[in-house]
Amino acid sequence: WLGQGPPCEMKISDTGSLLIRSPAMSRSGETLHARLTPEGYLDTEDRVAVSDGRVHFLGRATGIINVGGNKVHPEEIENLVRAIPGVQNALASGRGSPIMGQLVVLEVQAGELSAEESSAFVRRIRDHCRQNLPKHKVPALINIVRELAVSESGKVERRQTG
């Protein structure tokens, strides 16, 4: 519905970012002006793709992890891991590495696990990632946590890491 007529126009940038323009869109504020294209579209910083006439959200353009020059979108890893039975939530982030630039770190929220169960669960998650992701996207470190912070909308709160 985003691409259909007024009041909102939509297009996808060359980099895959969703751009929108609307007569109702406020044009005030420095942040908004900084994100406007010369044609007056707002760069939402959401990565999208169109398939079968539908727009699919792929993740945020910001928050990309750079592993040895390879771009890793944390949502791809999180969605894959959330499908594993026993995973309640997941958060992928980048941690600085003097050799690779960044490495993927994964925090996984799971129920109460003993140390032995936790180790086996980490192995299962790592194996699943190795089977389904390119090598540079496989988390270098996986931590089992009791709880991940979530926003009021239920989304995992991202922390900036270096």
State residue 1's pLDDT score: 45
pLDDT in tens, 72-107: 989 999 999 999 999 999 999 999 988 888 999 999
Using CA atoms, how far apart are residues 37 and 88, in angstroms rounded to an integer? Answer: 39
pLDDT in tens, 3-39: 555 577 888 888 888 888 877 665 555 445 566 888 8
CATH class of 65-145: alpha beta
The CATH number, out of the four listed (1.10.3080.10, 2.30.38.10, 2.40.160.40, 3.40.190.80), of the domain defined by the range 9-60:
2.30.38.10
Using CA atoms, how far apart are residues 160 and 95, in angstroms rounded to an integer? Answer: 9
Q: Where in the chain is the domain with CATH 2.30.38.10?
A: 9-60
pTM over 0.75: no
